[in-house]
Amino acid sequence: MIETYQKVYQNAFGTPALVMDRGEGAYVWDTDGKKHLDLLAGIAVNALGYADPAMVRAIADQAAKLAHVSNFFTTEPQIALAAKLVDLLVGEGGRSGKVFLANSGAEANEGAMKLAMLHKPGGRIIALEGGFHGRTLGALSITHKPAIREPFGQIPGCGFISTDVEALETLGDDVAAIFIEPIQGERGVVPLSPEFLAAARRTADRVGALLVVDEIQTGMGRTGRWFAHTEHIEADVVTLAKGLGGGMPVGAIIATGPAAELFTPGSHGSTFGGNPVVAAASLAVIDRVAGLLENVAETGAWLRQAIENAGFAVRGAGLLLGITVQDAPGLVGQMRERGFIVNATGEDTLRIAPPLIITPTDLEPFVETLRDLRG
């Protein structure tokens, strides 16, 4: 099968390590029948693991009823999901909020960039060194890593600053939006400091820019909270994807206050955005994750302590952790041979982002293996 893949699939990802067949809970089986504990969850996507009965039922029921309508019409799941997301972000807090549903994280960020362009026409869009916002041309323009961005150029006006508070102080009135991730996942699970988050909020207010918080990797319960930033700051715009759909392709832009009114008919669109099957799945995910937030916080704290006890430095929050190791890519291969799926962000970080249903009992063998491989 891999030989066929190489013949028929464009080589954007290198050679896949395995052909996956089926999953259940936090475990996935490849086509050779080997069982793996999934500590990556499709890169922070499969919040409920695999084949969650409630999610499967929601998808099947909605598909049997109505799988797609155009945006000339709407559906109950589309409206219910938007209402739920507004409620989770602004709740009773007095701010207003409105949602646009898309199909992926990059697409959610593209939409947020368009909001910035409408908010301050001709203004600059500033993102952070080490940040990742997606691979489409707009989102790529604010994705820092030169190796993946530079071959494709950059939308005029996009630029980067460091994650130091002083860098924010250099920004002026020509800035339309500041894009940040509360924890820079692709950089290697690097949290921004509460001081930086507060300074980003102050700077956005000072220069009249939108503060856009990309919670695509950190949101929807991954850190033990619905959103990783709300403990410290309020955002003008929040983007979501990954865990929101629990494996179904979805992205969301939640805009608050005046930013929620920037799109008018014709400003933006998407054939599949707001798809009722995907929205029904997302609602099922949110419903289940509400009961898992405590598990994320507790199991995350347990795992962090266990990794530290095994002699490794670890950072992150909840069930999004970065472990400092030597030769992370090599370790990923060794782990896979032993039945654990993890991934490397760079040479020295192992990223852990398991399904939110995972328990210490599932994780114990992984910690033991990590200790053994360290020697």
Task: Supply the residues annotated as catalytic.
Answer: 132, 214, 242
Q: Is 320 left (phi over 0), alpha (psi -120 to 50) or beta?
A: beta
Q: How far is the CB of 331 from ligand PLP (least distance, A)?
A: 21
Does position 214 interact with ligand PLP (CB under 6 A)? The reply is yes
Between 185 and 306, CB nearer to ligand PLP: 185
Instruction: Report how far residue 315's alpha carbon sits from residue 336's, in angstroms, rounded to the nearest whole number.
Output: 22
Which of 185, 191, 221, 224 binds ligand PLP (CB under 6 A)? It is 185
Does position 213 interact with ligand PLP (CB under 6 A)? The reply is no
Between 74 and 271, CB nearer to ligand PLP: 271
Contacts of ligand PLP in 105-144 (CB under 6 A)? 105-106, 109, 132-134
- The residues, ordered by sequence, that sit 6+ positions from 47 with a Cβ below 8 Å of its Cβ are 41, 220, 221, 222, 243, 246, 285, 288, 289, 292, 355, 356
Q: How far is the CB of 184 from ligand PLP (least distance, A)?
A: 8
Q: How far is the CB of 133 from ligand PLP (least distance, A)?
A: 5
Does position 362 interact with ligand PLP (CB under 6 A)? The reply is no
Between 107 and 362, CB nearer to ligand PLP: 107
Q: How far is the CB of 9 from ligand PLP (least distance, A)?
A: 17
Between 217 and 282, CB nearer to ligand PLP: 217
Instruction: Report how far residue 53's alpha carbon sits from residue 291's, in angstroms, rounded to the nearest whole number.
Output: 15
Between 185 and 300, CB nearer to ligand PLP: 185
CA atoms within 13 A on the CB side of 115: 31
Q: How far is the CB of 21 from ligand PLP (least distance, A)?
A: 23
Q: How far is the CB of 222 from ligand PLP (least distance, A)?
A: 11
Which of 28, 177, 241, 279 binds ligand PLP (CB under 6 A)? It is 241
User: What is the DSSP pairing of strand 175-180 with strand 210-214?
Assistant: parallel
What is the CB neighbour count within 10 angstroms for residue 2? 12
Total residues contacting ligand PLP (rule CB under 6 A)?
15
Between 26 and 45, CB nearer to ligand PLP: 45
Which of 46, 75, 104, 256 binds ligand PLP (CB under 6 A)? It is 104
Residue number, nearest CB to ligand PLP: 105
Instruction: Report how far residue 200's alpha carbon sits from residue 218's, in angstroms, rounded to the nearest whole number.
Output: 18
Q: Is 42 left (phi over 0), alpha (psi -120 to 50) or beta?
A: left
Does position 217 interact with ligand PLP (CB under 6 A)? The reply is yes
Does position 282 interact with ligand PLP (CB under 6 A)? The reply is no
Residues in the chain: 375
Binding segment toward ligand PLP, per CB under 6 A, in 195-203, 211-219, 292-300, 313-321: 211-219
**Residue 300 near residue 317, CB atoms below 8 Å:** yes
Between 176 and 212, CB nearer to ligand PLP: 212
Q: How far is the CB of 365 from ligand PLP (least distance, A)?
A: 27
Does position 321 interact with ligand PLP (CB under 6 A)? The reply is no
3-state secondary structure of 30: strand
DSSP 318: T
Per-residue exposure over 316-340, b if at least 16 CB sit within 10 Å of its own CB, e if not: bbbbbbbbebeebeebbeebbeeeb
What is the CB neighbour count within 10 angstroms for residue 14? 7
In degrees, rounded to 5, the angle at the alpha carbon of residue 247 between the alpha carbons of residues 245 and 252 is: 30
By the criterion CB under 6 A, which residues form the site for ligand PLP? 43, 104-106, 109, 132-134, 181, 185-186, 214, 216-217, 241
